[in-house]
């Protein structure tokens, strides 16, 4: 039987980052994932991109991942939020000598960098195309039988399996959930004018319309798009020709990026919310989408997962230094307390924004524009929003400040 400090079920962005971060502190892990590596690293796998906020980016830097991302990320030098194309936009920008607000990466580049880092980490045993056939959690430890026939013993089980985590459900951890009447269409395209490293969030009653800057390529300027539409309209929009789809997108942008072309593969995802009432159990911790799933309205999904990683690593490393069992209920209670308020606040804020900007009518639009203009004129309030977006509010784990624990 193989022994490790932790067994991580799920080797996506959050699970693989957790294994690499633990390894950087001398803790061992076995990461199990059912996915085929070549499939999930293919250029056309899902077409999604993620805005990695500045604090989680510092964590990736501290654990040695960012060197594998050289040249593939686009720094976000500004964010513009508007209610439709009406006047009264809210603009965010970093200080003249500050870090970018975040960095845009195509998810396939993030996956490759994190999986390669896990392969290279001395304390990580990464097993793709493998699943846990049976898992037994007792007050004394965790044992699992894997589909490759091996058995693993660990002090702690970590569920990083995503929104539909079977481990969370098997543990009886209750989840509040609902669906939105939205589907997110995701793709990328080229455009005539430079995005100047600005991300745009344009709100329409049918859902937010986000344009996210990507690195230019040989064919010119490029952006990713996350376009939320009514769920009933999603299938029809996907059936449009590339030309018609780009025409509709250009109308919603008011043409400020010029002519659009070179549409990438289109994908559509239903949007919903879920939040686990508890994120720990007997020798069990949830991270990432296994613990919470939010609307992509503010681009915080994977960043909240990386904040889980930074917090759990700090709790476990400090516990090991004081001689505690990594599955000790006191350590897990500390992780629960530390993450519960932050995740609840982010979840409540994104849900509230989704509902607020979904109210149709001129009066509602005027009230929203007044709110945006008010925040624009109040630097302390803007700074508060920026700190939240960067992941720098509240009690910040050391990894999010760029330091190992």
Identify whether the C-beta of residue 210 lies closer than 8 Å to the C-beta of residue 299: yes
Helix (H) or strand (E) holding 183: strand 175-191
Q: Which two tokens stand for residue 23?
A: 């390894």
Cα–Cα distance for residue pair 33/30, rounded to 1 Å: 10
Cα gap 370→364, rounded to integer Å: 10
Examine residue 197 and state whether it is found in any structural domain, yes or no.
no
Tokens, residue 255: 């043409």
CB 263 within 8 A of CB 189: yes
- 375: in domain: yes
Q: Which residues share a beta bridge with 74?
A: 104
Task: Measure the CA–CA gap between 290 and 339, rounded to whole angstroms.
Answer: 14
Inside any domain, residue 81: yes
Task: Please indicate, yes or no, if residue 231 is contained in any of the structural domains.
Answer: no
Q: 54-62 and 13-24 are packed helices; what angle lies between their axes, rounded to 10 degrees?
A: 50
34: tokens are 């059912």
3-class secondary-structure state, position 221: strand
CA distances from 381 to 50, 203, 343, 371, 377 (A): 25, 21, 20, 12, 9
Does the residue 243 lie in any domain? Answer: no
Residue 277 located in a structural domain: yes
The C-alpha angle with vertex 314 and arms to 309 and 315, in degrees rounded to 5, equals 100
Residue 66 is part of which domain span? Answer: 2-177+272-393
Any domain includes 264: no
Is residue 289 included in any domain, yes or no? yes
Retrieve residue 106's tokens: 């195509």
pLDDT in tens, the chain (405 residues): 999 999 999 999 999 999 999 999 999 999 999 999 999 998 777 778 999 999 999 999 999 999 999 999 999 999 898 888 877 778 888 776 778 889 999 999 999 999 999 999 999 999 999 999 999 999 999 999 999 999 999 999 999 999 999 999 999 999 988 888 888 899 999 999 999 999 998 888 777 899 999 999 988 999 999 998 888 888 899 899 999 999 999 999 989 999 999 999 898 888 888 889 999 999 999 999 999 987 666 567 799 999 999 999 999 999 999 999 999 999 999 999 999 877 776 766 666 666 666 666 666 666 666 666 666 666 676 676 666 666 666 679 999 999 999
DSSP state of 294: -
Rounded-to-integer distance, Cα 295 and Cα 65, Å:
27
Which residue from 198, 181, 202 is spatially nearest to 253, judged by alpha carbons? 202
Q: Is residue 16 within 8 Å of residue 114, measured between CB atoms?
A: yes
Q: Show the tokens assigned to 119.
A: 């392969």
Q: Is 212 exposed, middle or buried (0-12, 13-18, 19+ CB in 10 A)?
A: buried
Structural element, H or E, at residue 15: helix 13-24
Please, which residues bridge with residue 30 across strands?
7, 125
Of 159, 178, 177, residue with least CA distance to 168: 159
User: Is residue 393 classed as helix, strand or coil in its secondary structure?
Assistant: coil
Which residues pair with residue 285 across a beta bridge? 158, 280
Report the pLDDT value the prediction gives residue 367, as an integer from 0 to 100: 65
Helix (H, G, I), strand (E, B) or coil at 367: helix
Tell me the two tokens of residue 115: 């999986």
Whether the full predicted model's pTM is greater than 0.75, yes or no, is yes
Residues in Cβ contact with 327 at an 8 Å cutoff, skipping those fewer than 6 apart: 141, 142, 155, 156, 282, 283
N residues, the chain: 405
CATH of the domain at 321: 3.50.50.60
Q: How many CB atoms lie within 10 A of CB 358?
A: 18
All residues at 6 or more sequence positions from 167 whose CB lies less than 8 Å from its CB, including other chains: 9, 135, 157, 159, 161, 284, 290
CA 308 to chain centre: 11
Q: Hey, what are 376's tokens?
A: 């624009």
The answer to whether 245 touches 263, Cβ cutoff 8 Å, is yes
CB 124 within 8 A of CB 251: no
pLDDT at res. 333? 97
Provide the number of structural domains found in the chain.
Answer: 1
């Amino acid at each position: 039987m193989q022994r490790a400090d932790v067994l991580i079920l799920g080797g996506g962005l959050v699970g693989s980052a957790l294994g690499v971060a633990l390894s950087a502190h001398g803790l061992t892990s076995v990461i199990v994932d059912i996915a085929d590596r070549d499939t999930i690293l293919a250029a056309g796998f899902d077409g999604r991109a993620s805005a990695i906020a500045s604090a989680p980016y510092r964590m990736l830097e501290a654990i040695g991942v960012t060197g594998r991302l050289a040249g593939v990320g686009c720094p976000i030098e500004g964010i513009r939020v508007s209610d439709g194309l009406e006047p009264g936009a809210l603009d965010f920008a970093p200080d003249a000598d500050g870090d970018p607000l975040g960095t845009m990466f195509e998810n396939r580049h993030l996956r490759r960098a994190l999986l390669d880092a896990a392969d290279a980490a001395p304390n990580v045993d990464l097993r793709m195309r493998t699943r846990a056939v049976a898992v037994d959690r007792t007050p004394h430890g965790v044992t699992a039988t894997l589909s490759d026939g091996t058995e693993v013993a660990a002090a702690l089980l970590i569920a990083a399996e995503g929104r539909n985590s079977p481990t969370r459900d098997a543990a009886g951890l209750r989840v509040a959930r609902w669906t939105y009447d939205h589907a997110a269409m995701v793709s990328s395209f080229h455009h005539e004018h430079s995005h100047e490293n600005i991300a745009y969030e344009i709100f329409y009653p049918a859902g937010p319309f986000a344009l996210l800057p990507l690195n230019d390529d040989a064919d010119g300027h490029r952006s990713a798009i996350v376009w939320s539409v009514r769920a009933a309209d999603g299938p029809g929009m996907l059936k449009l020709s590339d030309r018609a789809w780009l025409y509709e997108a250009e109308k919603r942008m008011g043409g400020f990026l010029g002519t659009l072309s070179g549409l990438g593969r289109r994908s559509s995802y239903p949007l919903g919310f879920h939040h686990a009432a508890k994120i720990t159990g007997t020798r069990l911790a949830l991270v990432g989408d296994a613990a919470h799933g939010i609307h992509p309205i503010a681009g915080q999904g994977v960043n909240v997962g990386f904040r889980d990683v930074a917090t759990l690593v700090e709790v476990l490393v400090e516990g090991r230094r004081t001689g505690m069992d990594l599955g000790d209920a006191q350590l897990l209670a500390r992780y629960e307390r530390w993450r519960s308020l932050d995740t609840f606040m982010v979840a409540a804020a994104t849900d509230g924004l989704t509902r607020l900007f979904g109210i149709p009518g001129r009066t509602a639009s005027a009230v929203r524009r007044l709110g945006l203009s008010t925040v624009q004129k109040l630097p302390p309030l803007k700074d508060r929003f920026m700190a939240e977006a960067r992941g720098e509010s509240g009690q910040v784990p050391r990894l999010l400040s760029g330091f190992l624990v």
